[in-house]
């Protein structure tokens, strides 16, 4: 499977050949050398070495390993995402993974690692062998190597922690996937991320020598995937078995040994190399992996060198020029520049150059809502208190439980796979080239609020700021008339409604009429996630649900740091389709949804009960 860890193409290409295209002026800032580095099984990996033209003494190496292509010439100017790092001086090295472009071998889109087999190769061993070659063969290096990268490049960085080379002195894995079945690019707790899986697999495996976008015959991919019908039609009508990763996906619907081998993070139990983990709260691809690496490495971290940074960013936005907004959400700061200038560059400066100081914090976030940087000595902060917010039968959210006599009361809707709820407003453009795919997780949710197959629960106006810092989750006491089902939960921050004639600035400064027009009544998602019924009891052995029998659905909503401001409301939306980012559940249990027939897709009545078991748990900070 591999992590098909799939970074957003925007990030993946941010340092790709186009960035380094020849320009008339100025002269190159770096020398250019291409090498074919040998690794233990005889394969040679295409590698580009960029050393500063004005280098006067030994410098550390900053190494990035990617499936997206290496530059074909020296940059004429320092790329934006290097600017802060380059000021300290590094030899930048970029390598194509095996089987990509000029690198030899077979590209498997795989993150499986077998450290017990000395003949086995993986991204872990290829990195080890490459670092060994670099410190011995790159002139004027100081013997210290750092690695960093976003998404797939972040995964190849993180996997070095399983067997780090002695010269590897510091890494920064950013948006790395760690478990493709559980909660990274390809699935959410076993529910297939249909549009992403199809389009990314084609992107990476349709052609060894280039990134290939799937050729849709319509712009609105919602329409295309609905016309596609059952998942077996992907191969039957389009891919015809030519994409190995897609074949692996459909061959392994459950959490079997194939996926467990891909979950490389389960072999990580200590922090042996200083690591700056980086995650985006609005990462539409890999929001989960960095937190898992952070937690696994924390199992044994005697030197306190395992750090976590997170902010309200889409996939890789922290490497963009400014990061001062995401979609219509203004952040009030140039968060990307500040991250690179105040966190990333000092981290590598300390560990690779020996200047500055080790971070004194364990976790740093850019907290949304308050729009400020926060640091924490531990995560979650000891002051955060898990607090339940209950779903009421009148459609409200309350910190008070529903009455005991309400246990049999419920709200219901009919879920129809033939008319699934879109995951963002239509038309839904293709995932690649990345456009509005980057920011859909911040989109105003009013576009589904009045659908009959979406339940909405809303709190009273907040009379004070409400801060949540830590892990968030939802429990639904729910039933279905079918034998399988999905439930999707969305936690939303509802902005106040104000007349446009009264410009309003939430920060108390000068009137901000543009903000009032764009964010007036806005329903901003804070956390969104789903669970698939067949896997409630076991990820390995799916089982049918009992029709019309309510059970508890536990839905993790990941780590958050957000302030719901005074005058805002909290909202919860519940639905059973989220298409086509999640494939349609037939709602009739079948052994494998990948083999479901058209007749297996049936309507079902979903009920959410107004019992104490139906609540969202918020980590409320003092």
Per DSSP, 217 falls in state S
| Integer Cα distance of 20 and 34 in angstroms | 14
**Tens digits of per-residue pLDDT, 189-214?**
999 999 999 999 999 999 988 889 99
Instruction: Write the DSSP string, 539-576.
Output: SSS--PPPTT--EEEEEEEEEEEEEE-TT-EEEEEEES
pTM comes to 0.93
Confidence label for 403 from pLDDT (cuts 50, 70 and 90): low
Of 521, 488, 492, 494, nearest to 413 (Cα)? 488
| Integer Cα distance of 106 and 306 in angstroms | 33
Non-local (6+) Cβ contacts of 59 within 8 A are: 51, 52, 89, 90, 91, 140, 141, 142
**Tens digits of per-residue pLDDT, 289-304?**
999 999 999 999 999 9
Spatial contact of 332 and 526, defined as CB atoms under 8 Å apart: no
Q: Are residues 69 and 135 in the same domain?
A: yes
**Tens digits of per-residue pLDDT, 246-266?**
999 999 999 999 999 999 999
pLDDT at 17 over 70: no
Summarize the confidence of residues 333-346 as an average pLDDT: 98
**Tens digits of per-residue pLDDT, 497-539?**
876 554 444 444 444 444 445 799 999 999 999 999 999 999 9
CA 550 from chain centre, in angstroms, equals 31
Would you state the pLDDT for residue 110? 82
Q: Are residues 600 and 501 in the same domain?
A: yes
Q: Are residues 508 and 462 in the same domain?
A: yes
Confidence label for 25 from pLDDT (cuts 50, 70 and 90): low
| Integer Cα distance of 285 and 7 in angstroms | 7
Q: Are residues 318 and 453 in the same domain?
A: no
pLDDT at 103 over 50: yes
Would you state the pLDDT for residue 510? 41
* Location of structure tokens 């993150």: 111
Q: Are residues 420 and 447 in the same domain?
A: yes
| Integer Cα distance of 145 and 348 in angstroms | 10
Angle at which helix 194-205 crosses helix 244-251, to 10 degrees, equals: 140
Q: Are residues 293 and 399 in the same domain?
A: no
> Domain range holding 109?
9-179+263-376
Residue ranges in 206-256 assigned as alpha helix (H): 221-228, 233, 244-251
Domain edge (last residue) among 376, 395, 413: 376
Question: What are the tokens at 206?
Answer: 């349709």
Spatial contact of 432 and 9, defined as CB atoms under 8 Å apart: yes
Asked whether residue 221 is assigned to any structural domain, the reply reads: no
Q: Quick one: three-class SS letters along 158-195?
A: HHHHHCCCCCEEEEEEECCCCCCCCCCCCEECCEECHH
| Integer Cα distance of 53 and 598 in angstroms | 62
Domain edge (last residue) among 376, 411, 439: 376
Would you state the pLDDT for residue 9? 38
Q: Centre a 10 Å sphere on the Cβ of residue 407 and count the other Cβ atoms it contains.
A: 15
Summarize the confidence of residues 1-8 as an average pLDDT: 40
How many domains does the chain fold into?
2
pLDDT at 6 over 70: no
The CATH number assigned to the domain holding 467 equals 2.60.120.260
Domain edge (last residue) among 319, 342, 376: 376
Would you state the pLDDT for residue 108? 86
Q: Are residues 360 and 404 in the same domain?
A: no
Would you state the pLDDT for residue 347? 98
Say how many Å lie between the first and final Cα of the chain, rounded. Answer: 43
Q: Count, in order, helices (H) and strands (E) of the chain.
A: 13, 25
pLDDT at 245 over 80: yes
Non-local (6+) Cβ contacts of 54 within 8 A are: none
The CATH number assigned to the domain holding 105 equals 3.40.50.1820
């Amino acid at each position: 499977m591999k992590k098909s860890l799939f970074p957003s193409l925007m990030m993946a290409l941010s340092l790709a050949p186009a960035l380094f295209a020849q320009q008339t002026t100025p002269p190159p800032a770096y020398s250019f050398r291409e090498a074919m580095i040998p690794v233990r099984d005889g394969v040679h990996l295409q590698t580009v070495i960029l050393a500063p033209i004005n280098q006067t003494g030994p410098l550390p190496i900053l190494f990035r390993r990617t499936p997206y292509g290496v530059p074909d010439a020296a940059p004429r100017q320092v790329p934006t995402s290097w600017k802060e790092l380059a000021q300290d001086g590094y030899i930048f090295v970029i390598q194509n993974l095996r089987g990509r472009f000029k690198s030899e071998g077979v590209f498997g889109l795989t993150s499986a690692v077998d450290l017990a087999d000395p003949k086995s190769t993986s991204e872990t061993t290829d990195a080890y062998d490459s670092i060994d070659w670099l410190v011995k063969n790159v002139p004027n290096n100081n013997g210290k190597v750092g690695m960093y990268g976003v998404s797939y490049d972040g995964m190849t960085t993180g996997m070095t922690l399983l067997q780090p080379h002695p010269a590897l002195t510091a890494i920064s894995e950013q948006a790395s996937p760690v478990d493709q079945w559980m909660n990274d690019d390809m699935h959410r707790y076993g529910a297939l991320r249909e549009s992403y899986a199809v389009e990314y697999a084609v992107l990476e495996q349709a052609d060894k020598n280039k990134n290939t976008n799937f050729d849709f015959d319509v712009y609105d991919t919602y329409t295309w995937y609905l016309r596609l019908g059952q998942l077996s039609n992907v191969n039957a009508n389009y891919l015809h078995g030519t994409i190995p990763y897609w074949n692996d996906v459909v061959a392994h619907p459950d959490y079997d040994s194939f996926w467990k081998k891909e979950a490389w993070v389960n072999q990580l139990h200590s922090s042996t190399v200083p690591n700056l983990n980086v995650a985006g709260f609005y990462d539409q691809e890999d929001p989960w992996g960095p937190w898992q690496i952070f937690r696994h490495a924390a199992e044994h971290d005697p030197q306190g060198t395992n750090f976590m940074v997170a902010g309200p960013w889409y996939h890789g936005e922290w490497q963009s020029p400014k990061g001062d907004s995401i979609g219509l959400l203004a952040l009030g700061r140039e968060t990307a520049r500040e991250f690179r200038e105040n966190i990333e560059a000092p981290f590598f400066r300390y560990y690779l150059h020996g200047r500055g100081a080790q971070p004194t914090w364990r976790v740093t976030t850019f907290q949304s809502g308050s729009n400020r940087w926060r640091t924490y000595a531990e995560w979650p902060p000891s002051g955060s208190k898990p607090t339940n917010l209950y779903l009421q039968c009148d459609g409200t959210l309350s910190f008070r439980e529903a009455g005991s006599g309400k246990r049999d009361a419920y709200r219901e809707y009919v879920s129809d796979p033939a008319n699934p709820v879109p995951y963002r407003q239509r038309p839904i453009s293709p995932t690649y080239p990345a456009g509005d795919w980057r920011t859909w997780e911040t989109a105003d949710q009013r576009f589904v609020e009045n659908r009959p197959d979406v339940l909405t629960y809303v709190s009273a106006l907040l009379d004070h700021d409400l801060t949540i810092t830590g892990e968030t989750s939802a429990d639904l006491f729910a039933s279905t008339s079918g034998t399988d089902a999905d439930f999707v939960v969305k936690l939303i921050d509802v902005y106040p409604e104000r007349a446009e004639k009264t410009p309003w600035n939430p920060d108390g400064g000068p009137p901000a009429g543009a903000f009032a027009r764009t964010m007036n009544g806005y329903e901003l998602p804070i956390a969104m996630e789903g669970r698939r019924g067949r896997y409630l009891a076991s990820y390995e052995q799916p089982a049918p649900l009992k029709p019309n029998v309510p059970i508890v659905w536990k839905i993790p909503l990941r780590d958050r740091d957000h302030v719901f401001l005074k005058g805002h409301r909290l909202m919860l939306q519940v639905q059973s389709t989220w298409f086509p980012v999640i494939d349609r559940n037939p709602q009739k249990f079948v052994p494998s949804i990948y083999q479901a027939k058209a007749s297996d897709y049936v309507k079902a009545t979903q009920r959410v009960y107004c019992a104490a078991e139906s609540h969202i748990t918020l980590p409320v900070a003092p």
